[in-house]
Amino acid sequence: MNVGIIGAGPRGIVLTSQLLNQFKNRFEQQEKLTITIFDPYGIGGRVWRKDQWTGLIMNTPADQISLFTDASVNMTSRVFDGPSLFEWSSSAEAQKYLTTNDYPETIKTAATNLDGRDYAPRVLYGAYINWFYKELIKQCPIEANVTLKKVTVNGLQYQSNNQITLITDSDNFTVDKVVMSLGQQDNYLNDEEQKLATYAQENKLTYISPTHPGDANLNDIPAGESVIIRGLGLSFYDYVSELTLGRGGTYMDNDDGSLSYQPTGREPRIIAGSRRGIPYYPKAISEKGYGEQTKPVFLTDENMDKASVDGKLPFAEFMRLLKLDLDLIYYSLLINDKFPYKSVTEFKDRFINSENRPAVLAAFGFEEEDIFDWDYIVNPFKDVQVVGTEDYQSVIVNWLNQVIPDAEKGSKTGPVSSALELLRDFRPVFRRIIAAGRFSNEDYVNNFLDKLSSDISFLSVGAPVLRSRQLSALIRSGVVTILAPGMKIKTQSGWFVTASPKRNTDVFKSASLVEARVPKPDLDITANPLLETLVDNQLARTKTLLIGDKDVRLAAVDVQPDSDQLIDKGGAQQPNVYIWGIPLEGLRFATNASPRPGVNDINLQTADKIAANVLELKSAEDVDMN
C-alpha cells in the first residue's frame, strides 16, 4: 500500500509514527507499506524550521510537549513511549544530535538549561521533531519504507483504478491513500489588506500582511522610526521580541521584581493596538504535573443534561456552569491568600452544594473587590471611555502590574490565572460538547464561535508571563505605545495612519505597518494550492450549518465527523482521502495544539484512528477527533 502524507509538521510525523506502529503490530504484512511525506520545508514543517530567529519561543511548557504515545491514549496500536521535549532536551543524546546537525550554540545552550516549565525555542522543537523522525526511520520494519519529498503538492486527481495522483511542480506521485496533515496556511488578502498592500507598493512603504512572524522580513523597518503593529495577541509578542531583543536589546532586573529595558538604538518606535486594546492575559508559570488536567465540577454531562431544553444546551446555561467552575477555583485559591485560617475544603463543599452562593461568599468574608466578575475579566477597561494615549500607558502598566504577579504565582496557585487555566484544561470538554451537537446551530455559531472563542484566546492562550514583564518594561521605556481600544488604520498623504477615534484625538503615522496575526483557516479564501484545487474541482467544500433558513459557513473543510474523510461538493465521502488538524477549525476546537503527554491527547488519538482506517484495521471506539 502506498500512502501519501501531506505536511511534515508534528501531525504529519505523529501520523507516520502511528502508521508504522499499526503496520508493525497489527497489520497482516502480505503487502509492503510505502509512506511518502510531502513538505517543501522538510521534517518539522514551516513553523518549527531551523532557519528562523532563535528567540521565537513556544507557547506551551516543554514538559507538556511530546510526539510519543503513552498509556493514557485511547488507541489500538501499541504504546510507543519516549521522552517529552523537556526530557529529550536535557539528555546527552540531544546535545549530540544538535551538535552533529549544526544547530546554533544558542539552541544547544537553551536545551541544556531548559526547565520543564520553560518555553522552548521553536527551533529546538523543530530539532526534537527531526530527531523523533530519525528514530522512526531507525525502527522502520523491513516491509515498510518512508521517504520525504521537499516539494509542494499543488493538486490531487483520482484515477480510474481508485488510485490517486498527487501533482507537484517537479513530478507526479501515485498513491493509494492520502492524509492531509496541514498546518496553518496562507490566505488571499481581503479587500482592506489588498488596498493597504497596493498603497504600500505605490508609496514605497513597508506592509507585512498576516503571516507567521518567523517568515516576516523586518529588516526594512528602520531604527528610531515608528512602526504600526495591528494586533495584541501571540504574533504581537513575536514581532516586538524580534524588533527589540532581536536587535540586541537587553533587560535588567529591578529591585522591585520588575524589568527595565536597555535599548541599543536599533529599535523602531512601536505603535500597537487592536479592537480590544488590551494585550492577551499572560500565561501562568506552569505547576501542572504529568497528565494533570482539572476536571469540571459543574460543567458535567449530568448537569448539562439537566439544563438542556429539547435536547439542546442553551448557551446561557453553558456559561452559567462554566463560570461556576471558574468561580470555584478562583475563590478556593483566594481563601489561601486572604483567609489562610479558613477551611478551603469547607468552602468548596458549601459552594458546590449551595443554592445561594452569594451568601456563601459573604459568609466567608469576600468583599465586593474580591468578586470574580466575568465581564470585567473579559473587558478590564469597560469603564474607560475617553482617555489620552499617554494616560492609557499608565492604565495598561497598572493592569499588567495586577495580572503579572498572579500569573507568577503559578497555574495552581494564582487565583485569576488558575481560574483561566481551566479554559485550557476544559478543551476536551468543549470538543465533546461540539461533537455531540449539544448547542443549537445558532448558539454554536453566534455565541460560541463568534464571541466566546475569541474571549478564550484572549484569556488563556497568551504568551508566557515573561513576555508581559518585558512588555511592561518596553512601555515604561517608551519603545512601545499601546493605543486605546478601537484601533483604526487609514492611509493618508503617503503614510499609514492609526488612531483610536472613539477614545481620543491622538493620531500616529508611519511608513511601516505590520499585521500581527496569523491567517485564520478558511477554505473559501485559502491560498494553499492543493486546497484551492480541491475546491475548484469540487472535491472539497466548506462546512455549513443551517440556521433558520440559511446555510451559514464555518470556514472549515467538511469531513466525515467520525473518520476525517474528505467530503466533496456533492456531499459524497472520499474513502481514500483524509484531512485533519487546523483546516478543520470551527468544525473542531483548538486544532493548533501540539501533542501533550499523559492526557489522552486528541492529536495522538486521531492519528491512531486515521492510521488504522488507512490500513483498513479496526480502530478504537469513542475517539475524540481533532
- Residue 291 resides in a domain: no
pLDDT in tens, 595-606: 999 999 999 999
Residues 485 and 500 sit within 8 Å (Cβ to Cβ): yes
**Pair (52, 151) in one structural domain:** yes
Question: Same domain for 180 and 222?
Answer: no
Question: In this structure, is residue 571 part of a structural domain?
Answer: yes
- According to the model, what pLDDT value does residue 626 have? 84
What pLDDT was estimated at residue 622?
A: 93
Q: For residues 525-554, give the mean pLDDT.
A: 97
Mean pLDDT throughout 280-285? 98
Same domain, 587 and 510: no
Q: Does the pLDDT at position 29 exceed 80?
A: no
293 inside domain: no
What is d(CA 610, CA 603) in angstroms, rounded to the nearest whole number?
A: 11
Domain boundary among the residues 445, 460, 475 is at 460
pLDDT-derived band at 384 (thresholds 50, 70, 90) equals confident
- Is residue 125 domain-shared with residue 96, that is, in the same domain? yes
Span of 25-34, 124-133, 445-454, 491-500 with lowest mean pLDDT: 25-34
Q: Output the pLDDT for position 613.
A: 97
Clarify whether residues 511 and 532 are in a common domain. no
- Residues 456 and 467 reside in one and the same domain: no
Closest CA to 163 of 577, 567, 529, 559: 577
The grid cell for 591 is 486544532
Is the predicted pLDDT of residue 481 greater than 80, yes or no? yes
Give the chain's domain count: 3
Q: Tell me, what's the pLDDT at 383?
A: 86
Segment 243-271 shows an average pLDDT of 97
Q: At what angle do helices 415-425 and 453-460 cross, to 10 degrees?
A: 130
Alpha carbons 273 and 531: distance in angstroms, whole number:
33
Q: What is the pLDDT of residues 288-343, one digit of tens each?
A: 999 999 999 999 999 999 999 999 999 999 999 999 999 999 999 999 989 999 99
CATH of the domain at 151: 3.50.50.60
296 falls within a domain: no
What pLDDT is stored for residue 365 in this prediction? 95
Which residue type, as a one-letter code, is found at position 121?
P
Q: What pLDDT band is residue 27 in, cutting at 50, 70 and 90?
A: confident
The boundaries of the domain holding residue 604 are: 2-186+521-614
What pLDDT is stored for residue 28 in this prediction?
A: 82
Both 84 and 164 in one domain: the answer is: yes
**Is the same domain home to 13 and 111?**
yes
Q: Provide the pLDDT for residue 20.
A: 97
More confident residue, 207 or 170: 207
Specify whether 590 is located in the same domain as 484.
Answer: no
Q: Are residues 406 and 439 in the same domain?
A: yes
The one-character DSSP state at 509 is: E
Query: CB atoms < 10 A from the CB of 421, how many?
Result: 26
Q: 16 and 110 share a domain?
A: yes
Does residue 30 carry a pLDDT above 80? no
Do the domain assignments include residue 598? yes
Q: Per-residue pLDDT for 609 more than 80? A: yes
In a domain, 288, yes or no: no
Q: How far apart are the first and last CA of the chain?
A: 25
DSSP string covering 267-288: PPEEEEE-SS-SPPPPBPPP--
Confidence of residue 499 (pLDDT cuts 50, 70, 90): very high
Per the domain annotation, does 69 fall within a domain?
Answer: yes
For residue 177, the cross-strand partners are 3
Q: Which one of 460, 479, 501 terminates a domain?
A: 460
pLDDT in tens, 37-79: 999 999 999 999 999 999 999 999 999 999 999 999 999 999 9
Q: What percent of the chain has pLDDT over 70?
A: 100
At 308 the pLDDT is: 98
Contacts of 468 (CB under 8 A, 6+ apart): 279, 282, 400, 403, 404, 407, 462
Neighbouring CB atoms inside 10 A of 560's CB total 14
Final residue before a domain boundary, out of 452, 480, 515: 515
Question: 31 pLDDT band (50/70/90 cuts)?
Answer: confident
The whole-number pLDDT of residue 338 equals 92
**How many whole angstroms separate alpha carbon 466 and alpha carbon 295?**
28
Q: Tell me, yes or no, whether 539 and 579 share the same domain.
A: yes
Position 408: which residue type? E
- 292: in domain: no
Q: What is the mean pLDDT of residues 215-231?
A: 97
Q: How far apart are CA 44 and CA 10, in angstroms?
A: 6
